Amino acid sequence: MTGTLVVEETDDRVVVTLRRPEARNAINAAMVRELHEVCAAVEQQPRLLLITGAGGTFAAGADIGELRERGRDQALQGINSRLFDRIARLPLPTVAAVDGYALGGGAELTYACDIRLASPAAVFGNPEPGLGILAAAGATWRLRDLVGASVAKQVLLAGRRLDAEEAHRLGLVAEVAPADELLKRAHALLDRMARSGPLALRLTKLVTDAPGGHPLTDDLAQAILFESDDKRTRMDTFLSGGRQ
Ligand code: COA
């Protein structure tokens, strides 16, 4: 337990629970700092990352009390956008398990993760223009990539909130599970990914997120994997009748 997070680490995964019950887990400077510490640990020892929120809320955005006091220079520091970029670039897959509100920066944090799961109570939205600001930590481009420009503009410009069922239908969310099973399902997803070759997962994520250069980047990544002992062992296992 740090100030704003509960962090549980095992050999193959780190589970982070956002926990600021007095502010619906709103992302303040302390949480940003603590999430950077988690990133540093995951970069140092690559593991899967699961992010969730305590108390039936994922996160109700950036902390509005802090946002109110920030000026141009803080905006240019990209306090949330740099953190979410760092999370998006973590070496191994990241999963957000969303129960309740994921609004503003909370939604953007989930957009920066590779896969999202939701409880039926999940709500995604970007109400920033209502506060006189822009969703500047990834929503304008990540959400568009995830659900297309038409729906992204409805969320960003018209305040549309996506409930779990809509988010699932749009592909934003991989699966909807009852709140009391959400973490179990998220861990089952992580278990599945943990059975894959870690270098293969890492390079697949890198190439999928690469801005361009296909198929060269794909070929280079495959060239590395084709030489790995892990690949030979896994294929030998398959060919001898074993299954992953
Ligand atoms: N920043 C700071 N504090 C926040 C917050 C945020 N983003 N979101 C909620 N809180 C605080 C509230 O001020 C309230 O504090 P108080 O008990 O001292 O009055 C507490 O968390 C509970 O929030 P409340 O609004 O009473 O809960 P609710 O269940 O009725 O509504 C939300 C939940 C998420 C719908 C509502 O809190 C909300 O709209 N939050 C702001 C969402 C937003 O605009 N985010 C974008 C920020 S860029």
> Locate tokens 């278990």: which residue?
191
In a shared domain, residues 96 and 213: no
Q: Is residue 167 part of a domain?
A: yes
- Is the pLDDT at 119 greater than 70? The verdict is yes
The confidence score (pLDDT) of residue 96 equals 99
- Which amino acid appears at position 223 of this protein? A
Identify the residue whose C-alpha is closest to ligand 1 atom 14.
Answer: 23
pLDDT digits (tens, 9 = 90+) for 134-155: 999 999 999 999 999 999 999 9
Average pLDDT on 98-105 reads 98
Atom number of ligand 1 nearest to Cα 104? 46
For position 76, which CATH number holds? Answer: 3.90.226.10
The identity of residue 137, as a single letter, is: A
Q: Are residues 36 and 95 in the same domain?
A: yes
pLDDT surpasses 80 at 51: yes
Ligand 1 centre from 59 Cα, in Å?
A: 9
Pocket of ligand 1 (CB under 6 A): 23-24, 26, 60-65, 101, 103-105, 127-128, 131
Say yes or no: 178 and 217 in one domain.
no
Residues 20 and 120 in one domain: yes
Buried b (16+ CB within 10 A) or exposed e, 58-92: bbbbbbeebbeeeeeeeeeeebbbebbebbbebbb
Q: Is 181 a catalytic residue?
A: no
User: What phi-psi label fits residue 178: left (phi over 0), alpha (psi between -120 and 50 degrees) or beta?
Assistant: beta
Q: Annotated catalytic residue: which of 128, 165, 181, 227?
A: 128
Looking at residues 113-139, what average pLDDT do you find?
Answer: 97
pLDDT tens digits, one per residue of 182-234:
999 999 999 999 999 999 999 999 999 998 889 999 899 999 999 999 999 99
Q: Residue 105 CA: which ligand 1 atom is closest?
A: 48
Residues 84 and 184 in one domain: yes
Which residue's CA is minimally distant from atom 42 of ligand 1? 60
Number of structural domains in the chain: 2
Co-location of 27 and 11 in the same domain: yes
Please name the residue whose Cα sits nearest to atom 29 of ligand 1: 24
Residue 121 lies in a domain: yes
Residues 176 and 206 in one domain: no
Residue with tokens 């609004």: 103
CA distance 92 to 210: 14
Residue 135 lies in a domain: yes
* Better-predicted residue by pLDDT, 244 or 92: 92
Q: Is residue 244 part of a domain?
A: no
Give me ligand 1 centre to Cα 24, in Å: 6
Q: 178 lies in which domain range?
A: 5-194
Same domain, 124 and 228: no
pLDDT of residue 4: 98
pTM: 0.96
Using pLDDT thresholds of 50, 70 and 90, give the confidence band for residue 21.
very high
pLDDT at 2 over 80: no
Same domain, 112 and 227: no
Q: Catalytic one among 34, 108, 166, 175?
A: 108
**In this predicted structure, what is the pLDDT of residue 185?**
98
Q: In this structure, what token pair is assigned to residue 132?
A: 């006189």
Based on the fold, state whether residues 213 and 233 are members of the same structural domain. Answer: yes
In Å, what is the CA distance from 218 to each residue of 89, 206, 209?
17, 9, 11
Measured in Å, residue 70 CA sits from the centre of ligand 1 at 18
Place of tokens 């070929």: 219
Q: Whose CA is nearest to atom 1 of ligand 1?
A: 63
Q: Is 128 a catalytic residue?
A: yes
Ligand 1: residue whose CA is nearest its atom 39: 60
Report yes or no on 157 lying in a domain: yes
